[in-house]
Chain A
Amino acid sequence: MIKNICKHLLNRWKKNLWITLELLLVFCLTWYMVDYFFVLGYNKSLSSHRDLAHTYMVNIGSLPQNHEDYHAEDDEPAARYANYLRVINLLRDNPDVESVALASDYSALSALGALNEGRYRSVTDTTVVAETQVIRFVADEDYLKVFRHSKANGKTLVSTRDYDWNDPANILISRMMEEKLFPGESAYDKRIEAVDQPGVQYRVIDVLDDIKHFNYLRPYGVVYLPERLNETNLGGKIITIRSRDGLSEAQFMATFKKEMSTRLRVGNYYLGGLNSLAQMAEDTDYRAGKTNEIRMSTALLLFLLVNILLCVLGTFWYRVNVRRGEIGIRRAMGSDLVGIRKLFMLEGLLLLTIIVVPALLIEVQFIFSGVITTLGQDVKSYGSYLPDSMGLRFLITNILTWCILAVMVLLGIWYPTRQASRMSPVDALRD
């Protein structure tokens, strides 16, 4: 049968030129988009090991000096500290709030896009350096619980209260760092230091899971540096909370603002606002152009697929009409409807397969000209990561592209051949 179809294609090669050219064009462009979505999907499929759902940033403002309720004595460091602690306690005592966290800067909340990076090494082997994200948090509150950090690949959720923070040298690191700095052994109780601050030694007290800075990027190693709150370091701290399970975002935010607006008027402090971190993360993706990039890519992919569908529909509709005589003979010789449809479908798939060879050659040109970029390839990640192996990725994305286009081709052939199948052999033969 295949031989028969090949002969047919060869005999009518002039008629197949247009559709072949279109398939080739669309195959290359679709592959480009599929590659993008493959990496995006692969990244998204990896666990973030951190959860922003139901977390909120509480914006605590301070009255300006010209405000009628402003009290200068509340701006004294000791009073300010005491008031700040009262604010935290009020938040913790709210029955709708599950836990409270204090982050030292915005990079501890991936939602805002800020990233703090550092280079660390083991104190015993200073030749290997791990580049990593740095998260600074206040150990007095429960940063790890609010954001649902975990260890053992998500199996165990951790809490800041699980660890002893009395020794300021105690820190946490993530698995990727452990593998890089202490390959094959446990990092527990090992000492590490920052490359730009040799001499300041940290002691690893546990190894948590790697987290992704953004959901669409690859995971990245982390160093968690704790600090303790005192009168002098209140500035710049960011208060975040996690709401109790089962409360919807809108419900929680409305109740919280209503109840807490007056209660949080402590000293010169007031409730400036409450922002959902999940929403902020979405906004950050949008600001970084990522949301629009994904939407545009989806639109382009759809455009390509609909075009190929229409092209196949049109071409095969015509082909079925021209080959009425042949279809009539086949029917007369006992070929059933399924058989005729199969014939055309195989013809379509064969055409698609033939263009794969030139398409691959064009795609290789794409790769060598550097047009293909990997999402998050600038993340200084280490460890195995599928999209890094070019050969395998090339194979997978091309198979995916072939499959997607095959579906379109089959869909495009299905309708016109339905017409052919309905043709009476007598009518067809008379034509």
Chain B
Amino acid sequence: MLLIYLKQAWQLLKQNRFYSTIYILATGLSISLVMVLAIVLYLKVSNVYPESDRDRILVVRYGEAVYPDGNRGVNRLSLETVRQCIYSLQTPEAVTAIYEAYGSVSVQPDDRAENESGTVKFVDTGFWKVFTFAFTEGQPFTQADMDAGIKTVVISESYARKIFGTTQVTGKYIRIDFVPYRISGVVKDVSYAVDKTYADMWMPYTAHPSLNVGWANGLGFFAAYVLAPHGETAKVEEEIRSNINRYASTFTENTFSVNGQPDPYWLSIFRLSNRQDVDATRIVSTYLLILLVLLLIPSVSLSGIADSQMERRLAEMGVRRTFGALQGGLMKQLVLENMLLTFLGGLTGLLFSYLLVYFFRRWIIHIGTGQVFVNAVPQGVDVALSPSMLMNFSVFFVALLLCLVLNLMVTLLPAWRASRRPIIYSLNNK
């Protein structure tokens, strides 16, 4: 039966080219906008190299200290807080703390007088366990390097090529702000879109030229990422909470809190400022509202056009009903027929959204989280997007779901109106 409906729909599509074109364009436009949003969100929250286990990562980035006189301080965590609450955890698979200091440096290549700019992330040894970097050469710096504050770095392939002209650089020295660092390993490039781990170089935070371990009120510049074993996120979350509560009770001069953290990774990207609480319900409903507007506008106009189109087929409906077709059956047919057009529109929309994401990738990666302060992609840095980031099951599934929803929004009312007309009226309609 379905096949007959589809065949008929295909014939209708060919007959009414103008109608079909408009329908496909409007559907495609609406779906492409939603898909751009969906792809950007996918990049931010799904498992993407090297953050391949985001679904089991818990994040504690911000702390708040309140004093008896009402003054409050808000910032990242101090090293002591990380030691007490994160490094001491027993249940996680791995933990890491990133020193979120300004990481823009200038590098002095040996063969040129001019400096090259670069970005550095200040991390620990756990970083290489929480995030799955692919080493093409060498290895991460060791705990011994870290403890002694030895100046070592891990460098990305493309940056190694930029400075040395080759990626075989393990053991060589690189001058960062005039200070030589030994290269311990080379990793595959990280896309700028994966901003929590993106850098050109990664070094132990103990090698930072002016490391600030934070203050006695528990605040500082560290952000913690905890990798829970499969299926044990709740247990790890519980342990983090209990560690934080225990640690918070040791403060006498101020209170220390983390406002409901740890967050699952996906939620943490919406925690934008130190003070803000994130509310998963509010975030989801905001997105649903945007989705509704993006789907409602085209669906009203498409409904109008579909209604007119169905009006033209009233005579056919009349004949079908005379021979015993049920109202429900006719409705099903009309909705299914339209589905073909919606799918074609969806496909067009998906392809168009890939083009949009690809060509506008330098700024499009910043939309969607309500972030006010965003760092422009530095000159000379490309936002590399791999095919698997764009073409994957999740993205296809969202596109399919959108098609189904949009199709129902568009056709339900017109199909209901068309199928419930009295038979005489329909038959008489020409």
Contact = CB atoms under 8 A, between A and B. Distances in A.
B305 A287 contact: no
Given A66-B178, A315-B305, 16 more contacts: A18-B301, A18-B304, A19-B304, A26-B297, A64-B179, A66-B179, A257-B114, A286-B363, A286-B376, A288-B373, A303-B30, A303-B294, A306-B29, A310-B25, A318-B312, A322-B308
B115 A307 contact: no
A289 B374 contact: yes
A96 interface: no
A311 B301 contact: yes
A18 B372 contact: no
A262 B374 CA distance: 35
Given A261-B114, A307-B297, A287 B376 contact: yes
A225 interface: no
A430 interface: no
A46 interface: no
A314 B373 contact: no
Majority secondary structure, A binding face: helix
Interface residues of A, number: 43
B17 to A, nearest CB: 11
Interface of A: 15, 17-19, 21-22, 25-26, 29, 63-64, 66-67, 257, 261-262, 272-273, 282-283, 286-289, 291-292, 295-296, 299, 303-304, 306-308, 310-311, 313-315, 317-319, 322
A283 B106 contact: no
B300 interface: yes
Contacts of A63: 178
A63 B114 CA distance: 15
Instruction: From A282, A314, A318, name the one whose CB has the most chain B CB atoms within 10 angstroms.
Output: A314
B21 to A, nearest CB: 9
Contacts of B121: none
Contact of B372 (A29, A289, A295, A322): A289
Interface in B269-301: 293-294, 296-298, 300-301
Contacts of A257: 114
B26 interface: yes
A17 B307 CA distance: 11
10 contacts: A63-B178, A64-B177, A273-B115, A283-B376, A287-B375, A289-B371, A303-B29, A303-B33, A314-B304, A317-B22
Contacts of A306: 29
B113 interface: yes
Majority secondary structure, B binding face: helix
A299 B297 CA distance: 14
A296 B367 contact: yes
A67 B294 CA distance: 59
A291 B363 contact: yes
B178 A318 contact: no
Contacts of A310: 22, 25-26, 29, 298, 301
Contact of A307 (B18, B301, B307): B301
B164 interface: no
B119 to A, nearest CB: 15
Nearest to A284: B376
B363 A262 contact: no
Contacts of B363: 286, 291-292, 295
A182 B301 CA distance: 58
B19 to A, nearest CB: 7
Contact of A21 (B23, B115, B298, B300): B300
A299 B301 contact: no
Contact of B297 (A29, A272, A286): A29
A29 B367 CA distance: 20
B342 to A, nearest CB: 15
B303 interface: yes
Nearest to B414: A18
Contacts of A18: 300-301, 303-305, 307
A25 B178 contact: no
Given A283-B376, A289-B371, A307-B26, A261 B113 contact: yes
Contact of B113 (A262, A287, A289): A262
Contacts of B300: 18, 21-22, 25, 311
B309 interface: yes
Nearest to B375: A287
Minimum-distance CB pairs A-B, first 10: A18-B304, A311-B301, A314-B305, A318-B308, A286-B376, A22-B301, A22-B300, A310-B26, A314-B22, A283-B376
Interface string B132-145: 00000000000000
B347 to A, nearest CB: 18
B374 A286 contact: yes
A273 to B, nearest CB: 7
B360 to A, nearest CB: 8
Contacts of B23: 314
Contact of B366 (A17, A22, A64, A292): A292
B305 A311 contact: yes
A319 B311 CA distance: 12
Nearest to A317: B18
A282 B300 CA distance: 39
Nearest to A283: B376
Interface in B177-217: 177-179
A19 B304 CA distance: 7
A289 B266 CA distance: 22
B178 A315 contact: no
